[in-house]
Structure formats: C-alpha cells, structure tokens
A = this chain, B = another copy of it.
Amino acid sequence: MRKHIVACLALTLALVLTLSCVSLAEGFTAYNPPIVETTAGKLRGFMNGSTYVFRGIQYAQAKRFMAPEPVDPWEGVKDAQTYGPVSPVLDATPFSDSLVNQDEFVWPHRYWVQDENCLNLNVWTQHLDKDARKPVIVFFHGGGFDNGSSIEAYAYDGNNLSVFGDVVVVTVNHRLNVFGMLDLSAYGEQYKGSANNTMKDLIASLTWIHENIESFGGDPNNVMVFGQSGGSTKTALLYHIPAAEGLFHKAAAHSSGNITTMEPGDSARIAQLVLEKFGIAPDEVEKLNDISARELMLAGYEARDQVSKELGRNVRFRPTYDEDYITTEFASFSNDYPMMIGSVWSERIGTLHKGTGKNEWADAEVEAKLTEVFGEDKDEIMAEFTRLFPEKKRQDVLYYDAARRGQVRDALAARMKGITAPVYAFLFAYEAPVNGGITPFHCSELTYVFHNAEFSECRFATGASPEALKVQDTMARAWINFAYTGNPSQEGLEWLPYNETSNNGTMVFDTNSAFTILDDQKLCELMLKHM
C-alpha cells in the first residue's frame, strides 16, 4: 500500500496540538473527561465548552412503593454522561393515539427511556473545586404529578444558565403518578407515607445536593429551587415539609404557586381498587411487585377515575397533607426563605401553541371579536386593558388568562401567610415571534429563564432575535440574582417585593421589561363574566 503521508512524529504533534486546543478548565477534554468523588463513589462526566456536565446521577434508590434510601456505594468510576431513565408516564408513550404533540415546534420535547428506577439528577457547573461555593439552582419539572421529566423539554437544559450566571444548575427526576403517590400504608409499616414518596424523592435529591454539591463547586447553604406548573406545587410544598429545613433557602414558583393536594383517603381508596383489580389480598400486597410497571400505571389511572366517579369530584395524583411528612401549616423555617411567584400571559387560553393570526386581523375584525366576546362590558374592559398594557394590541386581551391571574393573586396571598421574607411577583408577557406571533403560553417563560433562546430546538420559536436574546438576558439575570442574593433586582430594573409598600408591584417581562403596579383585578373580574 501507499503509506500515509504523515510520519509518526507529525501525528504525535498533531495529537498534542489537538488535545491542547480543546483543552478546557483544569485540562479536561472529551478525551480525558472530569471525574468527581461523591459520597457513594466516583462519577465520570464530560465537558460542554466551559461547563462540567454530569447526567443521570443516581441520588437515591427505592424499591417499588418504598421510601427512597441512600445509594449503595460503589468501587471504581461510574459513568454520568447520559441522562438517566425518567419516571413512567402516560404521555409520550409510543402506540398512543396522540401522535406528535401539537406544541412540538414551539415547545420541543425530549422523549426518553422510562423506568421506575428514575431517582437521578443532572448537574451543570463551571467549577469542581470545593472553594467555589456558587449558588445552586435546582429545577423541579412540571406535568402535574402525572407527567414530565427533568429533560422533557429542550428548554430545561442547564448548560446556558450555568454559563450565563456562573451558577450550579441541577434538574431532577422523581417518581410520578402511581409510583410516587399510592397510599399502601394500610398494608404494612414498610409502606408508611407511600402516598408522599414523590416528595420524599425530591427531598432525597436535595439531601444529595446538600451532601455532594460542594464537590461540584456549589454552596450547600445557598440552594434555590424553582418549578413550573406541577413543579410550582412541588416547590411550594417544600415550605410544608419540616424535613426540607436547610436543604433549600429560596424558591420560585411559576404558573402558579398554588398548592393542590389529594384529600386524605383518596389515594388509599385508589390502592384498594388496584389491589382488587389484580386479585391481591390485603395480606399479600408484595404481589404488586410482580406486576409490570405499565400494567400497574394503567391500573392506577383506572382506579383514580373510578374514585373520581365515586366521589363526584376530579381526583388526581398529588401529594397528601398527612400532617406528618407534609403539614398544612408552614414549616418553622419558612419565614426565612424568600420566594418568586408568577405566571405567563396566556397560560392555557386559546390556541396556545399555534399562530392565531391575531396580528393580521383588520381593525374592524378586532372590534367585532371584542364585541362578540365581551358584549356590553367591552368598553370598560378595553379601557382597563389599555391602561394596564398600553403597548399591547387590543386583540391581545382575548388571550389574557384572567382566571390564572386570580390564582396567582391567591397564591401570593397564601404564601405570604407563612413567609415574611420577601415575596416577588412576576408576569411573563413576551410574545414568541414565531408563526405570526404566539402569546406567551404555559411553560414558555422557561426557555428564557434557562437562557436557552438560542439553544438547539428552542431557537426556532424564539427566532433567536435580538429581542428574544434581550428578554432571556433580563429573565435569567433576575433568577440568578435571586439565587445569589435573595433579591431579583438588576441594574436598571429594580424589583420590589409584592406588598403594600410597593402597591403590590409585579415585574412584567416583555420586550421592555418593567416593574409595574399590575392592579388587574377589575379587568379580570370583568373578563371572567364572559369567558
């Protein structure tokens, strides 16, 4: 054969050059990835630019329906380079009839491998030295307590937030639906509190963070938790879990910060029906372990629907105030832990994820629609709307989620009963500049909070426009400042707590974000008469 041209020496030189070119912090490269020692053993991550990334770190282990326990220690080095499995869920299941989600383009998903053994988390950090002690920002995903995962949306990728704020970002998987909230306590001491395993998992993740995050450059004494939708309930519930003391220090609840739980007894009744369905007697409950995860999940939902019928109300999987692990009263530490609470313009109103064409409507068409919806209250509603949002199009009022705004006010009021530390209110009002303009929908603020307006699949719905980049800078900076100091203000954008002093001021994030006295109660009341 003709020999390759380059001699060994040149190759060696090229190799050295290459390795030094891609060499990153502390000399780690793709070729030579970072390894970190945790309480249970060593983990091998990888570099993403300047970021040390560790994916799928197991933070606890749990037998089916049992409380989470510390991970068994291991010898040698375990890989933490791929995402771990996520909790089994009904959504996103192949062979469903739902096909591809309608919102896929503007809210791109990661489908992923599902398994009950899903107690794992992901870490993005700029440091591996224990002296760095950077704020830790922990994300609890949404999807009620039925769906979702730490990686369900591309928007949840923590790399860009870690880089932008020099913070440690952690995203968490935990058990959902029947796996995290089936109350089997009647069938054995080992199942005590099984109705709240989903929250016990989250506390276990915070415990792992508390014990290990220093090795990832994080400060165990400065941990911020934030969550959206179902994640906001998870976040708000931390204030009712005495075991959470010292494991977090501030929190943000997005859309909307209200807490909804199961009534005591609801989950026990579901458990009873599940056992009956499989012909399992009360004294042989361990036979549940022989049933496949999928069958069990389907049975759980079937039983849930049956219980809803029996009780004449909509029963959903949620944690339960058992006054033991989760208490109705605020935990003693709550007063010291500040919060951010807010929602987005449209939430689930209207054709959220598709262009409505509203920006193309002629004036007459707009007025006709407003008259059709608001009738005799139109003028009063529009006067209020224009007063509050002078820069919005008149038709945008049709997509303003008045009901959710009320829930946010309720959530703010409820939280402030147990939290004397500052509570900050926000509204995300930035219209995604895609497909003719889409008012901000449920979840959409997360792309900007995570500083992911240019990231991968996310950038198609933001257009990666200068406006979008400005919005992400403003929002991510607020969350980062809150993580660093407990105050989300930034230069040129003072953000006062929601209280009488600020006239219940709210930060409205938009092309030009502004701190505003968003007294939209009258607007919402008028609107709700017609929606």
Q: Which residues of A are in contact with B by a Cβ distance under 8 Å?
A: 1-6, 8, 11, 14-15, 17-19, 21-22, 29-33, 44, 46-48, 56, 79, 81-85, 88, 92-96, 98-101, 104-105, 110-115, 292-294, 387-391, 433-437, 456, 460-467, 508, 510-512, 514-519
Contacts and interface: CB of A to CB of B under 8 A. Distances in A.
28 contacts: A2-B516, A2-B517, A3-B390, A4-B391, A5-B512, A6-B512, A8-B391, A11-B391, A15-B467, A17-B466, A19-B433, A21-B466, A30-B460, A30-B462, A30-B463, A32-B436, A33-B434, A46-B105, A82-B100, A82-B101, A84-B100, A88-B94, A93-B94, A94-B94, A94-B113, A94-B115, A95-B114, A110-B111
Contact of A4 (B44, B48, B512): B512
Contacts of A511: 6, 11, 14
A44 B467 CA distance: 24
A351 to B, nearest CB: 13
A2 B514 CA distance: 9
Given A11-B512, A31-B436, 10 more contacts: A2-B514, A4-B508, A11-B391, A14-B511, A19-B433, A31-B435, A46-B105, A81-B105, A84-B100, A94-B115
B30 A433 contact: yes
Given A114-B94, A391-B4, A105 B84 contact: no
Nearest to A518: B1
Nearest to A108: B82
Contact of A99 (B81, B85, B462): B85
Contacts of A391: 4, 6, 8, 11
Contacts of A508: 4
A67 to B, nearest CB: 23
Q: Is the interface of A mostly helix, strand, loop or mixed?
A: loop
How many copies the complex holds: the figure is 2
Contacts of A293: 95
Nearest to A21: B466
Contacts of A6: 391, 511-512
Contacts of A389: 4
Nearest to A116: B95
A186 to B, nearest CB: 28
Given A11-B391, A21-B466, A517-B2, A82 B105 contact: yes
A17 B99 CA distance: 38
Nearest to A33: B435
Nearest to A17: B466
A523 to B, nearest CB: 11
A21 B462 CA distance: 13
Contact of A111 (B47, B113, B387, B518): B113
**Most-contacted residue by chain B among A18, A31, A433 (CB, 10 A):** A31
Contacts of A519: 1
B33 A95 contact: no
Contacts of A46: 105, 434, 460
A516 B1 CA distance: 6
B518 A460 contact: no
Pick the 4 closest A-B CB pairs, nearest first. A30-B463, A94-B114, A82-B104, A111-B111
A100 B85 contact: yes
A493 to B, nearest CB: 11
A11 B396 CA distance: 16
A456 B480 CA distance: 25
Contact of A465 (B3, B21, B388): B21
B8 A467 contact: no
B465 A1 contact: no
A101 B388 CA distance: 52
A100 B83 contact: yes
A514 B321 CA distance: 69
A463 B516 contact: no
A387 B465 contact: no
- Which residue, A47, A94, A433, A511, has most C-beta atoms of chain B within 10 A? A94
A50 to B, nearest CB: 13
Nearest to A104: B82
Nearest to A359: B31
A110 to B, nearest CB: 8
A466 B13 CA distance: 13
A56 B462 contact: no
A517 B17 CA distance: 29
